């Protein structure tokens, strides 16, 4: 496997030394696992794991005094940035004119007129281009992620790990909060459903923070465990469950839209869909019985034989906790209610599945 054309994390030498298996992901070479996806999944659910998330974009938004950055961000993002005080963040969406999701991201208010956007790796250039195109004169947009990296510490013991690895006086911000200590930024969101935090630091010092987390008891974890953990919580993955052809209402992300705002990019198309109702919805499916693991692009049917597919899976895997295959996928509205029986086709065989409430665990 040729990884030479990919971007490389400042932690790569540590991944290799720990036995990490590197794979391509969103243009980066990142570890998919170290000593096993299931062991790493269990570590996060029961103790603590640490992930390399240096591939995530860190966009700094800074405006001159004559430009209100919050007012501008409210025009380009779906949620209401004006609700944020310095040190607070929120989940939000960057939409195109047709209300398709360019990216789902976290916006933090660092200061009154300065913000930090944490964006998905596969969308960072597209996000920056789109935001720059719609920015007023004087607005500064900088991808700090080009010379910074980040780690995510996740699990029930994350607080203890934080206390062990951080200097005296550092404090863990509240959920969806941000705190800055010199050259490092600590955020508290996560993508696993467990407690935890993210630490952003210059690339040349990130390795020291990784070492401190590991020394404090955090187990190195890869992309495989991260994908399984987020799937169990029904957190959507951009590029799989979300795309520029998917709207917030179809994806079940209407909570990230501030409907009271008069105007934001994509709002006309989105309000029209809200009035009419979306024609499809992203549902959680639990496979019944023993089956091969469900994967993206697997077709969904309403019967165990014959007929045309009514939808396709967008994410899938095997949940160790449920001991069953689980998946996310789009189906026509009306088939999205919990308890609906559907069938998925894997290697020419169909297996029963049931729409269940989100999240799985």
pLDDT confidence of residue 321? 87
- What does DSSP assign to residue 239? T
pTM comes to 0.96
Spatial CA neighbour of 116 closest among 50, 195, 184: 184
* Spatial CA neighbour of 59 closest among 11, 126, 7, 12: 126
Mean of the per-residue pLDDT values of the chain? 96
Confidence of residue 66 (pLDDT cuts 50, 70, 90): confident
C-alpha to C-alpha distance for 34 and 224, rounded to whole angstroms: 10
Percentage, residues of the chain above pLDDT 70: 100
Cβ-contact 328, 344 below 8 angstroms: no
Res. 132 pLDDT band, cuts 50 70 90: very high
Q: Locate all alpha helices (DSSP H) within 119-276, ordered by sequence.
A: 124-133, 158-165, 203-215, 223-232, 248-251, 267-276
Give 277-325 pLDDT, tens digit per residue: 999 999 999 999 999 999 999 999 999 999 999 999 999 999 998 999 9
330 Cβ contact list (under 8 Å, min separation 6)? 250, 280, 281, 282, 283, 311, 312, 314
pLDDT at 4: 83
Instruction: For residue 317, give the nearest of 309, 308, 326 by alpha carbon.
Output: 326
- Which residues make beta-bridge pairs with 24? 29
Residues in contact with 169: Cβ distance below 8 Å, sequence separation at least 6, in sequence order = 181
Q: What is the pLDDT of residues 223-240, one digit of tens each?
A: 999 999 999 999 999 999
pLDDT digits (tens, 9 = 90+) for 85-123: 999 999 999 999 999 999 999 999 999 999 999 999 999
What is the C-alpha to C-alpha distance for residues 160 and 182, in angstroms, rounded to an integer? Answer: 21
- How far from 206 is each of 83, 144, 180, CA to CA, in Å? 32, 14, 15
Peptide bond preceding 7 in cis form (omega within 30 of 0) = no
Residue ranges of domains in the chain, CATH in brackets: 7-52+146-232 (3.30.1360.120), 279-356 (2.40.30.110)
Q: What is the rounded CA–CA span in Å between residue 34 and residue 52? A: 12
């Amino acid at each position: 496997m040729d990884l030479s054309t990919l971007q490389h994390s400042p932690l790569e030498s540590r991944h290799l030394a720990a036995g990490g298996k590197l794979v391509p992901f969103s243009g980066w070479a990142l570890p998919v696992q170290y000593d096993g996806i299931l062991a790493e999944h269990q570590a996060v659910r029961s103790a603590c794991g640490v992930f390399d998330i240096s591939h995530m974009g860190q966009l700094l938004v800074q405006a001159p005094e004559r430009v209100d950055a919050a007012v501008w961000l409210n025009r380009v993002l779906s949620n209401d940035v004006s609700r944020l005080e310095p040190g607070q963040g929120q989940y939000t969406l960057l939409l195109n004119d047709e209300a398709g999701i360019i990216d789902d991201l976290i916006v933090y208010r660092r200061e009154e007129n300065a913000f930090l956007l944490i964006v998905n790796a596969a969308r960072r250039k597209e996000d920056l281009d789109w935001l720059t195109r719609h920015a007023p004169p004087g607005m500064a947009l900088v991808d700090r992620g080009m010379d910074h990296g980040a780690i995510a510490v996740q699990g029930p013991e994350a607080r203890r790990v934080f206390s062990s690895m951080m200097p005296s006086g550092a404090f863990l911000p509240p959920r969806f909060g941000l705190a800055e200590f010199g050259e490092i930024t600590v955020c508290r969101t996560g993508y696993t459903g467990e407690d935890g935090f993210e630490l952003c630091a210059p690339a040349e010092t990130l390795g020291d923070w990784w070492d401190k987390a590991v020394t404090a008891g955090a187990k190195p974890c890869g992309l495989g465990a991260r994908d399984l953990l987020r799937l169990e919580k029904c957190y959507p993955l951009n590029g799989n469950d979300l795309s520029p052809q998917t709207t917030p209402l179809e994806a079940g992300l209407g909570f990230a839209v501030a409907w009271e705002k008069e105007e934001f990019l994509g709002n006309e198309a989105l309000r029209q869909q809200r009035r009419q109702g979306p024609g499809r919805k992203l549902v959680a499916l639990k496979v019944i019985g023993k089956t091969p693991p469900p994967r993206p692009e697997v077709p969904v049917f309403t019967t165990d034989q014959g007929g045309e597919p009514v939808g396709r899976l967008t994410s899938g895997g095997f949940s160790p906790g449920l001991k069953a295959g689980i998946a996310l996928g789009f189906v026509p509205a009306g088939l999205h209610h919990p308890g609906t029986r559907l069938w998925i086709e894997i290697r020419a065989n169909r297996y029963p599945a049931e729409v269940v409430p989100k999240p799985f665990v």
